[in-house]
Chains A and B, each alone.
Chain A
Amino acid sequence: MASMTKVPAPGLVNSPEFRLLIIAIAVFGLMSVLSPDRFLSPQNLTSMAFQFPEFAILALAMTLAMMTGGIDLSVVGVANLSAVSAALLLANVAGPEATGAAGIFWLFVAITLALAIGATAGFINGVLVANYGLPPILATLGAGLVFTGIAVAFTGGSAVMGLPPAIAFIGNETLFGIPFPLILFALLALGLHILLTRTSFGLKVTMYGANPRAAFFAALDIDRIILKVYTIAGMFSATAGLVIMSRANSAKADYGSSYLLLAVLIAVLGGVNPYGGYGRVIGVVLAVLSMQFLSSGLNMLQVSNFARELIWGALLIFVMVINVVDWQALRQRRRSVSSGGKT
């Protein structure tokens, strides 16, 4: 634990977010130079804007859980369970023929259902953590398997298809020329930012994450904070599930299985302290952008998907080392030979 109790140094230049901004710009610049005509093409920029929101929203859910010093390993499970439930409703009750007003009506019903399932799933996570004292990592791991398992059982493991055309809107349409998933992500990111910084609840989340014991001694309503955090995280995951469903025009229990790792990675890369108490949405947004620029750019350069995974992992380690190594202390240590102090 000791290694992570570092206080974010005050001042813009020293903040992890500033470093991320540099990284994001550097990656963008590098890709633009390496493949100027293709990386900067409108098609590529639009396609990036359609691609990243689904996992970026999951990263927001992860961020919220990590702010409390927890983690939500069930985000993908919740996303898929919500999507599968919505898809089953749409495919079996509405059917692919539902167009026009009927289509929109059923779309809204399905969205409500998905969000309700997301909230319930998140609430269950919260109960396990707050009321039964399970470590978040195990609670959400186990619950995530249960959610995925229910989705598997509902569908027998195959994809649910035959959805009404109206659902394409969530993932594939544009609004005022801006891809709708991007708008959705922007709204959720802004909402989370306001929640964390401008509300009593958000401040309590941060303080709880910084020191749960002190929060208990300060008479904060800890159980309610945790329940709310995981419920909101569940609803974010459900939203991501709907975007995935819309873009794939189907739902399946094992869609987006690589997104779990990616969501953790983005949150940590974005400067969120996995032990809680520090995290900024802007950092997470910058981390998402860096990841997406890197992915797309590497794609243009014909680098395999697997190399992307390698580079993501390396980037994460790199940023962690930069964040943790106390450069100032190192410099001091070099000056005076026998300082000892921090190990």
Chain B
Amino acid sequence: MKQLLTRNETLVALVIVAFCLVGTLSDPLFFTVTTLSDLLRASIVIGILAVGCVLVLISGGIDVSFTAIAVFAMYATTIFTLGVWPDMPWPLIFLISIGIGAALGAVNALFIAGFGLPTLIVTLATLSIFRGFLLTFVGSDRISALPPEMRNFSRLVIARGNTEAGNFYSLPWAFAALVLVIVLTWFILQKTMLGRSIYALGGSVESARRIGVNVRRTQVFVYVYVGALAGLAGIIHGAMGRMADPFSLVGLELSVIAAVVLGGARLIGGYGTITGTLLGVGLIVLVQNSLIVLGIPSSWQTATIGLLILLGTGIPAYQAKRAAARAG
């Protein structure tokens, strides 16, 4: 099984490498700092969301509401900031958004850990509840006059400049948030008892309960943490896009889940790694942004992502099926 999992990750890595090779061959401008910085920028929000999502999958659940949480937290924070203290420093704005996200995650946790409802159904319902609540009671207008501090944040860059060929590139500080989230989540998953409990829960809920894992508390943590990450991703999305759009993000959840599953996480729980998730995100972002360099018209982008999901999940699923038949 271990080889199988590694194979899933290496498979994705190989596809990425092949993609880049073909891309470079067909378009010499593909393999440049500009493309790289574009791709990294594009992967910030989806990356943060995916890291949260993999945590849920490892615990044996599924969450489709995190995009609604992200957009809710972003938009509500923006409205609040504009109304209360337009010059609020951006770290505080971020904290508010993260807090709102965590609170909405706690709503999921209430129904999942509290009432024991199936995670897919709960998060499907909260997806429409959060979005409906946002658009009905908070607002449905796009806001481009963001608080000045949010605009300032989007201008903070780690590196920027022009390549020798004269192409512009820039890597914003927002990327550091993704790195931070990756390190923190990796640490939780690998180094803390909480993280190992999440894996244990995904492996077998009953066994976890028997050795004294607090199943409910672990589940609550998972959904609150995912909510908080969604709040962070949302506010970054708003700041980087320089617009608070209440209609954005929702619809992205299936691509995020696709990225995570491509990276080797399994819906039955217990399996999934940060490395795999990032590879999955890389592939999805590549397809979304650079399909054209492979000579595939962008109108085939949706079909390509679908096909990737089928291949990425189908090959390991088929191997597992064959292995199960062999094991008897």
Contact = CB atoms under 8 A, between A and B. Distances in A.
A152 B296 CA distance: 13
A137 B120 CA distance: 10
A157 B299 contact: yes
A146 B128 contact: no
- The B interface, classified by DSSP as helix, strand, loop or mixed, is helix
A149 B301 contact: yes
B153 interface: no
Given A142-B258, A261-B127, A134 B314 contact: yes
Contacts of A137: 62, 120, 267
A265 B121 CA distance: 8
Contact of A132 (B140, B305, B321): B321
B261 A138 contact: yes
Contacts of A317: 111, 117, 122, 125-126, 129
Contact of A310 (B136, B251, B309): B136
Interface residues on A, range: 35 or more
A147 B303 CA distance: 7
B302 interface: yes
Contacts of B132: 306-313
B313 interface: yes
B309 A142 contact: yes
B126 A3 contact: no
Contacts of B128: 261, 265, 309-310, 312-313
Contact of B115 (A2, A153, A308, A321): A321
Contacts of A147: 306
B124 interface: yes
B320 interface: yes
Contacts of A133: 317-318, 320-321
A306 B322 CA distance: 47
24 contacts: A3-B115, A4-B118, A73-B254, A133-B318, A134-B313, A143-B310, A145-B303, A145-B305, A146-B310, A149-B303, A149-B304, A150-B303, A261-B124, A261-B127, A265-B128, A275-B118, A308-B132, A309-B132, A313-B124, A316-B121, A316-B125, A320-B117, A320-B122, A321-B115
A-B pairs, top 4 by smallest CB distance, nearest first, are: A149-B303, A310-B132, A145-B306, A306-B135
Given A146-B302, A149-B301, A313-B129, 5 more contacts: A4-B118, A142-B310, A304-B140, A312-B132, A320-B111
